[in-house]
Amino acid sequence: MIAHLRGQILTKTPNAVVLDCNGVGYELAISVATYTELGTEGAEARLHVHTHVREDALQLFGFHEATEKRLFEKLLTISGIGPKLAITVLSGISAERLVGAIRGGDHATLTKIPGIGKKTAERVVLELKDKLDDMAGYTPATDAKPSLGAVAEDVLSALVNLGYPRPIAQKAVESAQKDATVAGDFERLFRAAMNAVR
């Protein structure tokens, strides 16, 4: 099993990276959080790796933080959550907020993540609530960033519904919101956020 890779970044996208490790190119699926931590193409990267073996496929999943890898592996223990959905979950919410939401039984936050419905959210809380003690350093959801405000939350929700990963959409909204002339108007803020996200 491959557990760790260090190599040069050949290419990277918000959901995958190819690392050249001594002449061998490894393609790894990654979360948006890991993507934002990676350097530019040509830079060296070190990733914690989860090797997922199926009868018809061998997939590698890379993580900048060991804690994110552990959380990914805990998600895989839940019925109905495979590796693709688990990486989507970690792209849709920060690991800190996810741990906080699970511990706090915050189904509303969990169901905002693409691919997580009400029943899956209930299963996640039920099965993982008491299994996150090794992530004690993570802040609960109640300590998460304050709300962006009603208009900005609506814009963020619209961007996520259009398929943009939540962390990228949130950064775009926060950036666009700095302009006081658009901050209170949904349409103007939405346009400004769309320009920022591109």
Same domain, 70 and 102: yes
Return the closest-CA partner of residue 166 out of 106, 89, 107.
89
Contacts made by residues 16-23, CB under 8 angstroms, sequence distance 24+: 17/45, 17/47, 17/62, 19/45, 19/47, 19/62
| 114 or 19, greater pLDDT | 19
What pTM, to 2 d.p., does this model score?
A: 0.66
Q: Check which CATH number belongs to the domain holding 128 and give it.
A: 1.10.150.20
At residue 60, the pLDDT reads 96
Final residue in a domain of this structure, among 143, 172, 188:
143
Residue pair 114/153 in contact (Cβ under 8 Å)? The answer is no
Same domain, 116 and 155: no
Kindly tell me if the per-residue pLDDT of 28 is higher than 60.
yes
At residue 7, the pLDDT reads 96
- The domain tally of the chain equals 3
Same domain, 136 and 182: no
What would the two tokens of residue 168 be? Answer: 């990228």
The percent of residues above 70 in pLDDT, for the chain, comes to 92
Same domain, 77 and 122: yes
Same domain, 115 and 164: no
Q: Which structural domain range is residue 23 located in?
A: 4-63
- Distant-in-sequence, close-in-space partners of 89: CB < 8 Å, separation ≥ 6: 75, 81, 98, 113, 115, 116
Same domain, 133 and 159: no
Q: Check which CATH number belongs to the domain holding 26 and give it.
A: 2.40.50.140
Same domain, 56 and 71: no
Same domain, 136 and 72: yes
* pLDDT tens by residue, 144-158: 444 577 788 878 877
* pLDDT tens by residue, 123-173: 999 999 888 876 644 444 433 444 577 788 878 877 877 777 778 888 888
Same domain, 75 and 133: yes
* pLDDT tens by residue, 14-26: 899 999 999 999 9
Same domain, 112 and 48: no
Final residue in a domain of this structure, among 125, 143, 161:
143
Same domain, 162 and 118: no
Same domain, 102 and 35: no
Cα–Cα distance between 198 and 179 in angstroms, integer? 18
At residue 23, the pLDDT reads 94
Final residue in a domain of this structure, among 102, 118, 143:
143
